[in-house]
Structure 1
Amino acid sequence: MGSLSTYNAWSKARAQKSFNEGFRQVLPTMVATSLWGFVTGIAMVKAGMSEAMASLMTLLVYAGSAQLTALPLIVAGAPLWLIFAAACVVNIRFVIFGAAMQPFFARYRWPSRLGLGFWLSDMGFVLFMTRFADSKKRGTRYQFWYYLGLIIPGWISWQVASLAGIFMGGVVPTGWALEFAATLALLGITIPLVKNMPMAVSILVAGTIAWLGQPLPLRLGLAVAVVGGIVAGVLTEKHQASVKASHG
Structure 2
Amino acid sequence: MRAVAPLLIGTGIWGLVTGVAMVKIGLTTAQAIGMTLLVFSGTVQLASLPLIAADAPLWVVMLTAAVVNLRFLIFSAGLHPFFRRFSVGRRWLLSYFMVDMSFAIFLSRFAEAPHDERGTTEQVWFFLGMSASSWIVWQTMSIAGIVLAAEVPAQWGLEFTAILALIAMTLPLIAGKPALIGAVTAGVIAVVAAGLPLKLGLLVAVVAGIAAAMSAEIMLERRSAKTGGTT
Q: TM-score, normalised by structure 2?
A: 0.79
Contact 1:29 1:189 in 2 (8 A): no
Unmatched runs of 5 consecutive residues or more in structure 1: 1-22, 195-199
Greater Cα shift, 202-211 or 179-188: 179-188
Aligned-residue identity in percent: 38
Cα distance, 1:50–1:203 mapped onto 2, change above 3 Å: same
* Paired residues for 1:87-236 under 5 Å: 87-137=65-115, 138-173=118-153, 200-214=176-190, 215=193, 217-230=201-214, 232-233=216-217, 236=220
1:155 and 1:104 mapped to 2: Cα distance? Answer: 21
- Residue 23 of structure 2: aligned partner: 45
Greater Cα shift, 69-78 or 164-173: 69-78
1:75 and 1:46 mapped to 2: Cα distance? Answer: 9
1:236 and 1:133 mapped to 2: Cα distance? Answer: 22
2:84 and 2:49 mapped to 1: Cα distance? Answer: 35
Match of 2:2 among 12, 24, 35: 24
Letter in 1 for 2:224: Q
Cα distance, 1:163–1:170 mapped onto 2, change above 3 Å: same
Displacement after TM superposition at 1:166 (Å): 0.6
2:6 and 2:213 mapped to 1: Cα distance? Answer: 25
Greater Cα shift, 234-243 or 57-66: 234-243
2:49 paired with 1:71:
yes
Contact 1:119 1:155 in 2 (8 A): yes
Cα distance, 1:180–1:125 mapped onto 2, change above 3 Å: farther
Displacement after TM superposition at 1:217 (Å): 3.0
1:187 and 1:226 mapped to 2: Cα distance? Answer: 13
Displacement after TM superposition at 1:47 (Å): 0.8
Contact 1:121 1:151 in 2 (8 A): yes
Greater Cα shift, 238-247 or 115-124: 238-247
Displacement after TM superposition at 1:111 (Å): 1.2
- Residue 17 of structure 1: aligned partner: none
Displacement after TM superposition at 1:129 (Å): 2.5
2:112 and 2:221 mapped to 1: Cα distance? Answer: 13
Whichever of the two has the greater Rg, that structure is 1
Q: TM-score, normalised by structure 1?
A: 0.74
Greater Cα shift, 112-121 or 230-239: 230-239
Deviating beyond 4 angstroms after TM superposition, the runs of 4 or more aligned structure 1 residues are 174-191
Output the aligned Cα RMSD.
Answer: 2.8
Aligned residues: 218
Cα distance, 1:34–1:155 mapped onto 2, change above 3 Å: same
